[in-house]
Structures are given as structure tokens and as C-alpha cells.
Structure 1
Amino acid sequence: MSKKVVEVKTLKVGKYIILDGEASKITAYSTSSPGKHGAAKARIEAVGVFDNQKRSLVKPVDKKVDIPIIDKRTGSVLALMGSEVQVMDLENYETFELPLPDELKDKITEGTEVEYIEALGNLKIMRTKGG
């Protein structure tokens, strides 16, 4: 598992965070200061990158949290197999099977270049290259 530790106050909308062991993309971030002797708290709303579940976190802004190291790569589609796609990485020529995203079903054909991400041992096709 490749991850880094950062303070809550350094997070922004659009960045990634690990919540409940899943890489999640931050959709909302707000801070509040509860009172004279209280610490400022951050409320973070995020959506899982691989499972699309909503998660939230409330923590003091000076506490530390884990963020995943997202590896963005390029691959070529070798074969369509129903709801799965066989992809070959264009750097190390490794082949693997990934689920076909619903929003890209009509765009992906054999020979199409795709961008995919790898985080915490999971892989997901994000978009087609050049389109």
C-alpha cells in the first residue's frame, strides 16, 4: 500500500484521501472553529474512487491523515470480454483485466488507448486517450 501522511489542513477539494481503507476523492471541505478553547475542525466529504460510496470525516485540522499515492498510467485495450476489458500497460507490457466502466462502454474498442489509475492495489479505467 503506497500512501503518505499529511495534515488535514493541507487537503483540498479534488484531492484524494484514504477513508475506511479506500482511496476516496474529496468532494467537499469545510472548516469551523467551535469556540474559545476548541480547536478548528475540518469536515470532509468524499466519494470512493473504486466503489463510489460516500464517506465523511470530521477531524481537527492539525491531525494527520493518510492519502493514497495515485499512479496514472496508459494502456492499450487488447480484447473486450463482456463486462471486462483486457488491457496491456504501454510501459512494462503487463496485461490484466479490468471492469468496463458504464460511461465508457460505447467509446472503448479493441486497440483504443485508455488512461487508468492504480491506488492501494486497485485498478480502474478513467478515460480514453485523446477523447
Structure 2
Amino acid sequence: MDARQILEKYYEYANAGDWDRWCDLFAEDQVMDEQLAGHIEGLEVLRSMMKGMGTMYRVFRNEPVHFLVDGEKAAAVSHLSAVSPAGETIEAEVMNFFRIVDGKIAYMANYHDTVPFQVLGQG
């Protein structure tokens, strides 16, 4: 897959709640700087974290708005809409940066407004 296809699958799998296939997009030695979860290294650590994602939100949609791809570097602007198990809603604009090496996400960082996540005690 090329970088654009990887971005498309990243959002497709996330929106389907298919976190196993979502994790498959990442390299074994991936590094992620996630604004709420912090610095995450290694695919197995990421897989372990994502096992709880299905219970964290009753609804989770992260809709891509725009992709920029330049070789192994890519960025995606998206809009996140989510509902917690208790019914709190989250709406946030998101910017993700990716470095894709040999068809896998080697590095990812995300940036978004943290205020909407305060309803979950995560902001």
C-alpha cells in the first residue's frame, strides 16, 4: 500500500472499530506521540492499549477531511465525533502527522483540542 492508501485504511478501520487491523498498519518498532495517551513505543504496547478502545466509546467516528502526502511523510485533518458509555459527547478537530516507511506507519503524532475530552477526565 502507498501512503495515501494507508491513511484511508487508518480511518476506515478506526471507524469500523477494527482495532486489530488498525494496529496492523503500524511497524513493529512504531513510535506514537498521542496527545492524551502520551508517548507509545512498540506495536505490542499499542495493541495492548487499543484492546480497551471498544469499551471507551459507545460511538467513535474520526472522519478524514483532507490528506497531504509527500513521500514518506503524510498529514491528515479530520473531525472526531464520539459518545462515551455515559452519553457524554465529544466533537474535536484533529491533525495527525505520519511517517510511513516500507508500507507501515513508523511514526505518528496527533494534535487536537483537549477541552472536549475533559468530560471523560482525559483532557
TM-score (norm 1): 0.27
**Larger Rg belongs to:** 1
Q: Give the strand-richer structure, 1 or 2.
A: 1
The structure with the greater share of residues assigned to helix is 2
TM-score with structure 2 setting the length? 0.28
Identify the structure with bigger relative contact order (alpha carbons < 8 Å, sequence gap 6+). 2
